[in-house]
Structure 1
Amino acid sequence: MISGESRAADRPGETDGSALRGKVAIVTGGASGLGRAMALTLGKAGARVVVADLDVRGGREVADMVGGHFRACDVSDLDANRALVDFAREQCGGVDIALLNAGVATGCGVGEDFDPARYRRAMGANLDGVVFGTHAVLPALRARGGGAIVATSSLAGLAAVPLDPLYAANKHAVVGLTRSLGPALAAENVRFNAVCPGFAESRIIDPLRDMLSEQGLPIIPAQVVADTVLRILTGDGTGECWFIQVDRDPEPFRFRTVPGPGKPAGT
């Protein structure tokens, strides 16, 4: 195992994913956008994929495309996450990989536009979905002798986002969880990493498309994110948060070390 700030330079830019052949993978938010690309990429690599989403039609379509299974799941509900894992174990015999990707836009701030229902919905999908998903899948990974979890965060989890502070808050929380759980789970042979894409092809950016176009900001293809997830899964790092930005090779973000205690005055 390698700690969170490990060797990006040692990883190849591309991988065929052959090491994933026969592995069982759960992909939440798999009906569209990033999750769809992840599910298709894992299916192409030979993994057995369980697609989870609230979009039943889209989820079943993706599952059919990869010869996998579909399960409707609200990731903000702990029991639904447990039921999803139970379903994967029943259908596929176990779980080796969990891509905790489901997420939504916040839709409000903390001022006059604050909406408690929208806030809870966003935190439920973007943060609880990762926490609950991790809690639910860990027993299944342990039963296989280990495995891998990749959570979808965002560049909003690595930088200040004044225009959407609540989205930044839940994505920062996923980054903190990743950096902490990576080393915490290493002894159990469970690797925990995150992807942190910029503006990538998904439903979340639908309200921003005109603005992005006007400012000449390109949208990152969902496949680039899926390929990065494949690199993470076939690597050996843990506790890493891989940034994905236009015209840059994805790699783990280099966090600065927190300053240690200072010396008392006069010493």
Structure 2
Amino acid sequence: MEFDGKVALITGGANGIGAGVARALAELGARVVVADVDQERGKAVADEVDGVFTHCDVRDPESNQAAVGLAERQFGGLDIAVLNAGIATGFGLGEDFDPERYRTVMGVNLDGVVYGVNAALPALKRRGGGHIIATASMAGLVAMPLDPVYGANKAAVVGLVRALGPVLSADGVTVNAVCPSFAETAIITGFKDTIQAAGMPVMDVREVVDAFLAVLRRGKGGECWFVQSGRPSEPFAFGTPPGPRTADGERVAVRSDRLTTDQEA
């Protein structure tokens, strides 16, 4: 994929990774819709990239639908949906557990991706295909003791992307996740000193943005690309867990639309 004339919707586009992706795509010729709850910063980014801003609470399905509708009205369609909105939790599952905050975090980090995919799909299909990228995290690939609920959110996003990949590829829609390690964004503010004291590098946002562009250009459906300091980004190689077998010992494979055995494959 190249980007001249493409239309991109970016949730969580007011700052950090979302703003970086908006700037990068605009520089490459894309028309950009910046969607965020932060009106002041979101509008500033949209003005900077000659795009448009829309207030979007990704926890609300109708808000996602409205953002996609704006992209189609303003620029004639939608080619790329970057589902990037995300927040940290700031609590665990012990005495500090906050049920209200938990629902907010789940709403932004997981529901926002589900609702974003649901809203974007019809528009992408009207264009004959397109690309959806969800911002996951290395916390979705490895254990995240500092923030276990955040890790659970991101692991769910990874699982969703892997499941959707083969299904939506048939419609010309490529779905991927980008899984960054710690980057210089607001989401690490509460524990930045801790990770730096442990010797963990904090990446510049541009390193993550470059991975997004690589995924858009080369990603295949269902891939989850890791982004780690000091090494090139590439799809994470998931191990194959033990699978089910029939009473006769044949392996049962899960295809995009049905179950098959080795003999049928």
Q: With structure 1 as the length reference, what TM-score do the two structures score? A: 0.90
What's the counterpart of residue 168 of structure 1?
Answer: 151
Change (3 A) 1:93 1:262: closer
Report the equivalent of 1:68.
Answer: 51
Q: Would you say 1:245 and 2:221 are equivalent positions?
A: no
Post-superposition Cα deviations, 1:220-263, rounded to whole Å, max 9, x if no partner, equal 11111111111111125110000011111110000011212369
Q: 1:57 aligns with which of 30, 36, 40?
A: 40
One-letter amino acid of the structure 1 residue matched with residue 36 of structure 2: D
Higher relative contact order (CA 8 A, sep 6+): 1
Cα distance in 2 for partners of 1:28, 1:107 equals 22
Report the equivalent of 2:170: 187
Q: Is the 8 A contact 2:223 2:236 kept in 1?
A: yes
- Assess, with a 3 A threshold, how the Cα gap between structure 1 residues 217 and 22 changes in structure 2: closer, same or farther: same
**Corresponding position: 1:229 with 2:212:** yes
Contact kept? 1:75, 1:81, Cα under 8 Å: yes
Mapped partners of 1:233, 1:196: distance in 2: 14
Percent identity between matched residues is 55
Contact 1:109/1:166, CA 8 A, preserved across alignment: yes
Q: Return the letter of the residue paired with 2:147.
A: D
2:96 aligned counterpart, secondary structure: coil
State the 1:179 CA deviation.
0.4
Helix, strand or coil at the partner of 1:188: coil
CA–CA separation in structure 2 for the residues paired with 1:251 and 1:235: 10
Instruction: Output aligned runs, 1:122-201, within 5 Å.
Output: 122-201=105-184
TM-score by length of 2: 0.90
| 1:27–1:50 contact (8 Å) kept in structure 2 | yes
Structure 1, gaps ≥5 residues long: 1-16
List alignment gaps of at least 5 residues for structure 2: 248-265
Q: After the TM superposition, which segments of 4 or more aligned residues of structure 1 sit over 3 Å from their partners?
A: 261-264
Structure 2: how far apart are the matches of 1:66 and 1:216?
36
Q: Which has the larger displacement, 107-116 or 153-162?
A: 107-116
Aligned in 2, Cα 1:263/1:83: closer, same or farther, shift over 3 Å? Answer: closer
- Separation of aligned partners in 2, 1:93 and 1:25: 11
Q: Deviations over 1:83-104 (max 9, x none)?
A: 1111111111110000000000
Report what 1:6 is aligned to.
none
CA distance in 1, matches of 2:147, 2:196: 19
In structure 2, relative to structure 1, the CA distance for the partners of 1:160 and 1:94 (3 Å cut) is same
Please tell me whether the aligned partners of residues 20 and 234 of structure 1 are also in contact (alpha carbons under 8 angstroms): no
Question: Matched residues in 1 for 2:16 and 2:211: separation?
Answer: 15
Q: Which residue of 1 aligns with 2:190?
A: 207
Distance 1:227 1:246 in 2: 12
Secondary structure (helix, strand or coil) at the match of 1:234 reads helix
RMSD: 1.5
